[in-house]
Amino acid sequence: MFSAGNRSSIFIMIEESILQKVNQWLDSPAVDNDAKETIRQLQAENEEQLVDAFYKDLAFGTGGLRGLMGVGSNRMNKLTVGKATQGLANYLKETYPDEQVKVAIAYDSRNNNKLFADVTASVLSANGIQVYVFGDLRPTPELSFAVRYLKCHSGIVITASHNPKEYNGYKVYWNDGAQIIPPHDKNIIECVNAIADFESINFAKDEELIQTIGQEVDQAYLDTVKNLSLSPEAVRQHKDLKIVFTPIHGTGVTMVPPALKAVGFENVTVVEEQAEPNGNFPTVPYPNPEEKAAMALGLQKAQELDADILFATDPDADRVGVGLKNNHGEWQLLNGNQTAALLTYYLMEKWAENKQLQGNEYIVYTIVTSDILGKMAEHFSVEHFTTLTGFKFIAGVIRELEGEKTYIGGGEESYGYLVGDAVRDKDAVSACVMFAEMTAYFKTQGLSVFDKLAEMYKKFGFYYEDLVSITEQGKAGAEAIQRRMVELRTNPPAVLAGQNLVEAIDYEEGTTTNLFTGERLVIDYPKSNVLQFVTDQGAKVSVRPSGTEPKIKFYFSVNEPLESKEDFDDTLERLKQQIEQMKADLQL
């Protein structure tokens, strides 16, 4: 099966390394018999799947481990989770040699999550680390909160976020409640890679070092969310706001309805068919609120009840999708940029109205999020920062500026938002609460959310964004994505939708290039495999491989002035046509 014939020596080397890993698993007493039998079946029946399962070790991406569940070094399973945890334990003990290290663990509704959480707790406790584990599934943002609340050195949440049901993941947090960033991520990877065999992993659970997290943390988290309120009177006036919520079979059901109730909203309906946590996500093809199909049952219930708002959270409740009626009475799903812009506008407007702006406030958003956020911040004399994609970078800015400046809010186009800094990751729970309060506040002014959206576009420019994600599976897919990035680097387009490209930004090289003069300047950003192209009309196209999924993503942003609210629909149609032409020009 592994004979190479006349194939290249590089391919022979790769095959030999795969064979070595396969034999390591077959020979190891740590691998159970069922797993070994699965490997033998793959050897006999499906070489392609065998190669994909073993051609590399599952590595930390933008959020930690994430991958398909199954046997193999490139899969989520007891041994890869155990190895990651042993490496993390070694690094924590090395970093804090004179302290009792403490780690908090949470998990969502995915299949095998309790197993992986138990494996994680076992390995940590076996290494003398104090472990706090939520007694039942809880949202990722509550884990981030718990790390700081319990004064832990680290945190782990078992989740694959919005990925399909076949996936699972393992996100690592540092003592500030944020996902790990350099140098900790690289150092942990080195410690993980230093584990030469499975016998080096200590699975001997120490029950005395494992403590269940109870209702105290739940209540503290809910109190923190409640204290974010900026318009309590508006909530009292519109406490009967009709809210439909779906957790899409995930953890949102544990915290979103209680949080809305704690703030004062009394008319919340949970979509019954999707209320039960279930790792098979039986009612949706893909548990991602960015996908319209995942919102279908929620939209149906919202229409049936003539609701004011629809919220849908992903399995670990760090992302939220929003639906509401537009000014034509039609139900519409907001995209992530629209929700981020509306929330940010509301926050800054209320901070100004409440005389809370002192001159040292700021917002943060990512380089692929709408530039309208920066325009709004300038209007309110609020500083704004942009970061690489990934909420850990937003949290990194909050950490760097803690005690010097005041964070108001921020977000990213992929449906992740954070209000206040008690949590250091995107938080769908507080985002639902704040969006509902915002809607109530606009109602007190006789305005709909879409009235405010048009007002915002008229004041700052009509910005419209879209996203194309191309999935490429397995080893061959990863190579195809890499080829596409190389092609765009070496042969960028000159014109998109009739607009001349004037600037190319390469975050991997750390340069920005003037495409007219050829002048190249250095930019002060961490290295990342992201390309951006800017046109002479202010449009922007960003391209990046996903750090958590086998995808390459194309982000489009176009804009033009909005002369009046009556021109909303016509302007939107022109912007959509621009993006469609850009897609065609890029052969997407």
In this structure, the answer to whether residues 39 and 90 fall within a common structural domain is no
Confidence (pLDDT) at 182: 82
Residue 293 and residue 387 in one domain: yes
On whether both 191 and 268 belong to a single domain, the answer is no
Q: Answer yes or no: do 325 and 187 share one domain.
A: no
Rounded to the nearest 5°, which phi and psi values hold at 309?
A: -145, 150
Q: Return mean pLDDT, the chain.
A: 93
Q: Are strands 102-107 and 154-158 parallel, antiparallel or unpaired?
A: parallel
Q: Can you give the pLDDT at residue 234?
A: 98
What pLDDT score does 60 carry? 62
Average pLDDT of span 61-89 = 90
Q: Which residue has the higher pLDDT, 221 or 1?
A: 221
What's the mean pLDDT in 519-548?
92
Average pLDDT over residues 520-549: 91
Residue 230 lies in a domain: no
| Lowest mean pLDDT across 36-50, 87-101, 202-216, 445-459 | 36-50
Residue 342 structural domain: 239-460
Given a cut of 50, whether residue 1 has pLDDT beyond it is: no
CA atoms within 13 A on the CB side of 278: 14
Question: What pLDDT shows up at residue 48?
Answer: 86
Q: What angle do CA 194, 199, 205 make, to 5 degrees?
A: 105
Which residue among 460, 494, 518 closes a domain?
Answer: 460
Residues 473 and 544 in one domain: yes
Residue 455 and residue 467 in one domain: no
Confidence (pLDDT) at 14: 43
Per-residue tokens: 140: 């990722």
At 27, is the pLDDT very low, low, confident or very high (cuts 50, 70, 90)?
very high
Q: Is the pLDDT of residue 142 over 80?
A: yes
476 occurs within a structural domain: yes
Residue 401 has pLDDT above 70, yes or no: yes
DSSP, collapsed to helix, strand or coil, labels residue 114 as helix
515-544 mean pLDDT: 94
**Model confidence band, residue 12 (pLDDT cutoffs 50, 70, 90):** very low
The runs of H, that is alpha helices, within 183-264 are: 184-193, 215-226, 232-237, 252-263
Residues 6 or more apart in contact with residue 400 via CB below 8 angstroms: none
* CA–CA distance, 204 with 123 (Å, rounded to integer): 7
Kindly state the average pLDDT of the residues 178-198: 89
Q: Are 419 and 486 within one domain? A: no
67 belongs to a structural domain: no
**Same domain, residue pair 90 and 203:** yes
Q: In the predicted model, is pLDDT for residue 363 greater than 90?
A: yes
- Give the end-to-end CA distance of the chain in Å, rounded to a whole number: 37
Beta bridge mates, 66: 169
Residue 228 lies in a domain: no
State yes or no: is 161 an active-site residue.
yes
In the predicted structure, residue 451 carries a pLDDT above the cut 60? yes
Q: Are residues 297 and 444 in the same domain?
A: yes
Instruction: Using the 3D structure, point to which of 187, 219, 251 is the last residue of a domain.
Output: 219
Q: Domain for residue 31, yes or no?
A: yes
Domain with 415 in it: what CATH number?
3.40.120.10
Q: What angle do CA 75, 76, 82 make, to 5 degrees?
A: 120
* Domain final residue, candidates 444, 460, 476: 460
CATH number at residue 472: 3.30.310
Q: Is-cis flag, bond preceding 183, omega within 30?
A: yes
Residue 116, pLDDT > 80, answer: yes
**CA nearest to 62, candidates 155, 193, 146, 170:** 170
**What pLDDT, in 10s, does the model give residues 236-278?**
999 999 999 999 999 999 999 999 999 999 999 999 999 999 9
Cβ atoms within 10 A of the Cβ of 258, count? 17
Residues 6+ apart with CB under 8 A from 136: 254
pLDDT of residue 313 exceeding 50, the answer is: yes
Amino acid at 430: S
**Model's pTM, two decimal places?**
0.93
- The larger pLDDT score, comparing residue 127 to residue 21, is at 127
Residues 467 and 423 both lie in one domain? no
Q: Give the separation between CA 552 and CA 145, rounded to whole angstroms.
A: 32
Mean pLDDT along residues 174-190: 91
- Burial label for 326, CB within 10 Å (0-12, 13-18, 19+), is middle
Q: Give the pLDDT band (50/70/90) at residue 11.
A: very low
In a domain, 453, yes or no: yes
pLDDT > 90 in the chain, percent = 85
Q: What percent of the chain has pLDDT over 70?
A: 96
Give the list of residues 6+ apart from residue 329 with CB closer than 8 angstroms, or none: none
310 and 454 both lie in a single domain: yes
The tens digit of pLDDT for each residue in 465-510 reads 999 999 887 778 888 899 999 999 999 999 999 999 999 999 999 9
Measured in degrees and rounded to the nearest 5, phi and psi for residue 16 equal -65, -40
The active-site residue out of 109, 161, 370, 546 is 161
pLDDT band at 5 (very low <50, low <70, confident <90, very high): very low
Looking at the structure, do residues 425 and 477 belong to the same domain, yes or no? no
Tell me if 291 is assigned to some domain: yes
- Domain total in the chain: 4
pLDDT at 2 over 80: no
Mean pLDDT of 548-566: 92
Q: State how far the Cα of 249 lies from the Cα of 314, in Å rounded to an integer.
A: 8
How many residues does the structure list for the chain? 588
Say how far apart CA 571 and CA 562 lie, in whole Å: 7
Amino acid at position 416, single letter: G
227 lies in a domain? Answer: no
